[in-house]
Amino acid sequence: TGIVVLTMKASVIEMFLVLLVTGIHSNKDVTKKIKRPKFTVPQINCDVKAGKIINPEFVVKCPAGCQDPKYHVYGTDVYASYSSVCGAAIHSGVLDNSGGKILVRKVAGQSGYKGSYANGVQSLSLPRWRESFVVSEGKPPKGVTYPSALTYSSPKSPAAKAGEPTKAYQKPPVPGTTAQAVTPLQLTGATATEVTLTSLPKPSPSTGSTTSSLRPQPVGHRSWELDLWSTGSYASGHNSPHANPGFVPKEELSTQSLEPVSQGDPNCKIDLSFLIDGSSSIGKRRFRIQKQFLADVAQTLDIGPGGPLMGVVQYGDNPAAQFSLRTHMNSRDLKTAIDKITQRGGLSNAGRAISYVTKNFFSKANGNRGGAPNVAVVIVDGWPTDKVEEASRLARESGINIFFITVEGATENEKQYVTEPNFSNKAVCRTNGFYSLNVQSWFSLRKTVQPLLKRVCDTDRLACSKTCWNSADIGFVIDGSSSVGTGNFRTVLQFVANISKEFEISETDTRVGAVQYTYEQRLEFGFDDYHTKSDILNAIKRVGYWSGGTSTGAAINYALEQLFKKSKPNKRKLMILITDGRSYDDVRIPAMVAHHKGVTTYAIGVAWAAQDELEVIATHPASDHSFFVDEFDNLYKFVPKVIRNICTEFNSQPRN
């Protein structure tokens, strides 16, 4: 019996050990199951702007090579959300050009952003912007997690390197149309029926969602949500990393009505004109299809004063505005107005319509906002019955980006009837295919809504927004030698003022600077000193006469270093030099350096100036860039000639 008992005890011990080991493995499995998944840092491209990302706070990884000046940055330390995220990170010193992880936090918009040069990046100034952000090292605080996928507001997903699919253009959700109740866990002391917050759009359109209506608030009462947000971290411009990722800042909340008015999509802020074909040849059925296309555009765009505005011109024998940019301020009213358009009939004079739009449509009285790109989309059935080339040239020179949609274009047998062969390429802003859409059938027109809107909303590619008047840095180099004299010097300054006031002057448009020279040189004012036309004209008036010798070569070198070195990369660099005599030093090498650095030089000589020296200083061909005036009192006569040559050169650039 003793042997049997020992055997039983051994069996019990063995079973105990088996259970113990099994329990340990079981606990390990449980530990594995509850272990949190590893955080994946989303990657973005260099051109992604902070405003395109909806998340209030996030960690991202930037690629190498974002120091390129084409990735624009606005501000210093606090950056406008229109800036490149990665470019701002390099400018702030958080990253270098090799890339890496960063933490981005959205903050309130600023009344102004000051540009500066830091870490190889020149940031630009901006008067104001609706939203800002700050950048820090991409090391999240302990216990804080960030999303592995970002939510974008743009029509296309810029995070190509993250492998996220490109989405079609979608109208941004109107604040307040989709609401999500806040549970007691999310907001202490409030019930789910007392507080409602706008939820972010779902990342996938196929994902179902349950919506609940916002409760209308009694007149004179503020809702719980505004009081709560105003005392939280968002009110002070700081986003809590513990906040529900579906929450949005208080400025996007809506408590006033069930159907809040949208301010429009800020990512597509354009002034848009459609020139629709109302000719007799199109027929009633195809005219209805054209109207449906316009309604689809209005539905897809988020029309509003802070986003795109849209007007319509119908053309036949003659054009007529159906409604202007300022007539309808939301998509619903716009669709209603489109439905009421009736066909005019007549020929298909698209050229006449383009002229009408250039002269009348894009005016301040009709709602043109100035800061928004002007876009004209011409729809033509087959081909126009008049010529479009000259009218389109004038439109382009006025800053209008012309797109052409040709429906059921001419067949080989029909081309003999076309008034102007290759009319589309003669009309559009550029001939690279971006501005032209050819549709085989009217029944396929609806398929072009998305491709067209992707193009017209891509404001960075709207090349014709830049004109002769708004795209230059102009540096005047003024001879202040003793031979000029006080009275004549004032005449020279008037000449400088007369040229300056022809241009559109602002921080983002044309900028003006001035250098005066004798034996020595001095910077009267730089490109960043004054940003309005009145300030520039007053600064010119205040320039004092210096008196001395004439060292023109040294003055050119000085202007290159002190003035044009600070020119913006996307600006034409124009030097206008005025002198009344031969230089005491050599001008050949400084002139060659100026040309090599891309500075276009205009040389204006007065009285005793040496014409052969003017031709050396001037950009080739000298006949277009050098002028000689017999006396100071005749300087004013050359203002139109100088302006005309500057604009002729700009407008003759290749359009491909």
- Say how far apart CA 310 and CA 583 lie, in whole Å: 56
| 148 — pLDDT class (breaks 50, 70, 90) | confident
pLDDT of 260 reads 52
| 261 — pLDDT class (breaks 50, 70, 90) | low
- Say how far apart CA 388 and CA 355 lie, in whole Å: 9
Q: Give the mean pLDDT of the chain.
A: 81
Give pLDDT tens digits for 166-183.
344 444 444 444 333 333
**Domain residue spans in the chain?**
50-137, 271-461, 472-651
Both tokens assigned to 362: 């894009």
pTM of the entire predicted model: 0.55
- Say how far apart CA 32 and CA 26 lie, in whole Å: 10
- Say how far apart CA 380 and CA 289 lie, in whole Å: 13
Query: 271-461: what fold?
Result: Rossmann fold (3.40.50)
In this prediction, residues 335-364 reach a mean pLDDT of 94
Per DSSP, the chain holds a count of helices (H) and strands (E) of 16, 21
| 142 — pLDDT class (breaks 50, 70, 90) | confident
pLDDT of 414 reads 86
pLDDT of 209 reads 35
101 forms bridges with which residues in the sheet? 61
Report DSSP letters for 325-357, one per residue: TTT--SHHHHHHHHHT-----S---HHHHHHHI
pLDDT of 541 reads 96
Between 218-232, 337-351, 422-436, 466-480, the lowest mean confidence (pLDDT) is in 218-232
Q: Is the pLDDT of residue 9 over 80?
A: no
Q: Are 481 and 518 in contact (CB under 8 A)?
A: yes
- Say how far apart CA 54 and CA 654 lie, in whole Å: 39
- Say how far apart CA 76 and CA 110 lie, in whole Å: 12
Give pLDDT tens digits for 428-470.
999 999 999 999 999 999 999 999 999 999 998 898 988 899 8
Q: Is the pLDDT of residue 196 over 60?
A: no
Contacts of 296 (CB under 8 A, 6+ apart): 446, 449
- Does 271-461 match 50-137 at the fold level? no
Residue 389 parent element (H or E) = helix 389-397
- Say how far apart CA 245 and CA 243 lie, in whole Å: 6
Q: Are 118 and 91 in contact (CB under 8 A)?
A: yes
Q: Are 220 and 191 in contact (CB under 8 A)?
A: no
Q: Are 357 and 275 in contact (CB under 8 A)?
A: yes
Cβ count near 238 (within 10 Å): 16
Cβ count near 3 (within 10 Å): 7
pLDDT of 96 reads 92
pLDDT of 213 reads 32
- Say how far apart CA 198 and CA 215 lie, in whole Å: 12
pLDDT of 40 reads 85
50-137 to CATH, choices 2.170.130.20, 2.60.120.10, 3.30.9.10, 3.90.850.10: 2.170.130.20
Between 3-7, 129-133, 502-506, the lowest mean confidence (pLDDT) is in 3-7
Of the chain, the percentage scoring pLDDT greater than 70 comes to 77
| 203 — pLDDT class (breaks 50, 70, 90) | very low
Amino acid identity for residue 57 in this structure: E
Q: Is the pLDDT of residue 103 over 60?
A: yes
| 338 — pLDDT class (breaks 50, 70, 90) | very high
User: If you search the block for the tokens 């840095």, which residue do you land on?
Assistant: 473
pLDDT of 195 reads 29
Query: How far, CA to CA in Å, does 426 sit from each of 2, 72, 385, 448, 533?
Result: 111, 32, 15, 21, 35
List phi, psi (to 5°) of 598: 80, 20
User: If you search the block for the tokens 């600077």, which residue do you land on?
Assistant: 513
pLDDT of 569 reads 84
pLDDT of 127 reads 65
- Say how far apart CA 75 and CA 91 lie, in whole Å: 10
Between 408-417, 420-429, 469-478, the lowest mean confidence (pLDDT) is in 408-417
> Terminus-to-terminus CA distance in the chain, angstroms?
105
Geometric angle at alpha carbon 373, from 371 and 379, rounded to 5°? 150
Amino acid identity for residue 349 in this structure: N
| Range list of β-strands (E), 443-571 | 472-479, 511-517, 521-525
Contacts of 357 (CB under 8 A, 6+ apart): 273, 275, 313, 319, 376, 395, 400
- Say how far apart CA 141 and CA 238 lie, in whole Å: 15
Residue 577 parent element (H or E) = strand 572-579
Between 256-260, 345-349, 534-538, 565-569, the lowest mean confidence (pLDDT) is in 256-260
Q: State the burial class of residue 578 (Cβ atoms within 10 Å of its Cβ: 0-12, 13-18, 19+).
A: buried
In this prediction, residues 335-351 reach a mean pLDDT of 94
288 forms bridges with which residues in the sheet? none
- Say how far apart CA 551 and CA 556 lie, in whole Å: 9
Both tokens assigned to 84: 């490149």
Give pLDDT tens digits for 110-127.
877 888 888 888 888 776
pLDDT of 22 reads 53
- Say how far apart CA 344 and CA 638 lie, in whole Å: 48
pLDDT of 152 reads 86
472-651 to CATH, choices 3.40.50.410, 3.90.1300.10, 3.40.50.2300, 2.40.50.250: 3.40.50.410
- Say how far apart CA 544 and CA 416 lie, in whole Å: 66
Residue spans of alpha helices (H) in 478-585: 486-500, 533-541, 552-562
List phi, psi (to 5°) of 590: -60, -40
Give the number of residues written for the chain. 656
Q: Is the pLDDT of residue 369 over 60?
A: yes
In this prediction, residues 548-561 reach a mean pLDDT of 97
The residue ranking higher by pLDDT, 444 or 163, is 444
pLDDT of 529 reads 96
- Say how far apart CA 245 and CA 621 lie, in whole Å: 61
- Say how far apart CA 543 and CA 491 lie, in whole Å: 12
Contacts of 444 (CB under 8 A, 6+ apart): none
Highest-pLDDT range among 194-198, 201-205, 588-592 = 588-592
- Determine if the peptide bond prior to 56 is cis (ω within 30°): no
Both tokens assigned to 567: 């020119």
